[in-house]
Chains A and B, each alone.
Chain A
Amino acid sequence: MAAQLLFFYFGGVTIAGAIVAVTSRNIVYSALSLLVAFIHIAGIYVLLNAEFIAAVQILVYAGAILVLYLFVLMLFNPSEEKLYLHKQAKVGIFLGVVVLFMMLFAGYKTEIIGKGGPLTAQAVKEMGHTRVIGNALFTDYLFPFEVASLILLVAMFGAIVLAGRGVHRKKGPAGRIDLSYRDKLPKKSSETPEEVIVGR
């Protein structure tokens, strides 16, 4: 009974946070309510006997991803938007409801026909959840684990290349233009290039 009450608390706050995140005019409020939702999803994982996943959820989602979003939001000087919804917002909500009922139908009509594995709740509790995860991660899932590290490396390079300095910048309100190249240029060039490379 206590578990069911906890489920209703965690699930209700998750849904409420998600709805506030999608409907709020202020985008910082959206990010913060999504933070609340992610933390309560970690509570759902604890109810499902997945303590390590819950810790990773709080560390990675609430700790890293949402903070990255908030940093980027602060760069853009967010303000309340008047036109924050599309004109076709009703169609979007309708499609969301259609997707919901399709998934509910599919989920309730599906039966689990496979045989259950050996890891009952009692077995996981005896071994420890982190140990079970580690055993699986470094034996059966060793190759996907290495591929995941490669994906993170490539994403890091990509983020540095896309958002870092040294890229071509056009004249505009957002970019700062470095004019020190003029002193080094020979005097014969008359036209000013619109696009300059900011030195590293």
Chain B
Amino acid sequence: MIPLDWYLTLGFFLFAIGVAGVLVRRNIIMVLLSIELILNSANITFVAYSNYHQSINGQMMVFFIMTMAAAEVALGLALVIALFRTRSTLNVDQINLMKW
């Protein structure tokens, strides 16, 4: 039997890697991909708790997180395409039009 802590540790490591990826990378598509990593770490934690708590509710939450991730990817990539059309860059340092 695998203890619950192992799954939690895996989820936490994925979350930390995702947070570091959001903060470190310059390319806006890599920022979106790191957000996917963060969502997956949440999914692992939900499923682990759901299994060890003998309840289905956590897995339903995973379902809705996946729905939200699909919607977020479609909208985010559409925004990236619109941004590239107008600004011709994917670098988040150069997207500073609203910076005061």
> A interface vs B, CB < 8 Å?
3-4, 7, 11, 14-15, 18-19, 21-22, 27, 30-31, 34, 37-38, 41, 44-45, 47-50, 53, 56-57, 60-61, 64-65, 68-69, 72-73, 75-76, 81, 83-86, 88-89, 91-93, 95-97, 99-100, 103-104, 107-108, 112, 114, 116-121, 132-133, 136-137, 140-141, 144, 148, 151-152, 154-156, 158-160, 162-163, 167, 169-170, 172-175
Contact = CB atoms under 8 A, between A and B. Distances in A.
A4 B2 contact: yes
B82 A167 contact: yes
Contacts of A108: 5, 8
A104 to B, nearest CB: 6
Given A15-B13, A73-B29, A174 B88 contact: yes
A84 B27 contact: yes
A68 B24 contact: no
Contact residues on B (Cβ < 8 Å of other chain), bracket: 35 or more
Contact of A72 (B43, B77, B93): B77
Given A34-B33, A44-B44, A75-B81, A107 B8 contact: yes
A4 B8 CA distance: 15
- Chain A at the B interface: mostly helix, strand, loop or mixed? helix
Nearest to A3: B2
Given A117-B56, A162-B78, A34 B36 contact: yes
A86 B54 contact: no
Interface of B: 1-2, 5-10, 12-27, 29-30, 32-34, 36-37, 40, 43-44, 47-57, 59-60, 62-64, 66-75, 77-82, 84-86, 88, 90, 93
B33 A61 contact: no
25 contacts: A3-B2, A21-B21, A22-B17, A22-B34, A48-B48, A49-B51, A53-B43, A53-B47, A61-B69, A69-B33, A75-B81, A85-B25, A100-B12, A100-B13, A117-B57, A121-B51, A136-B56, A151-B71, A152-B71, A155-B71, A155-B75, A158-B74, A170-B86, A172-B88, A174-B85
Contacts of A137: 60, 63
Contacts of A27: 27, 29-30
The CB with the most chain A CB atoms within 10 A, among B15, B24, B52, is that of: B24
A85 B81 contact: no
Contacts of B78: 158-160, 162-163
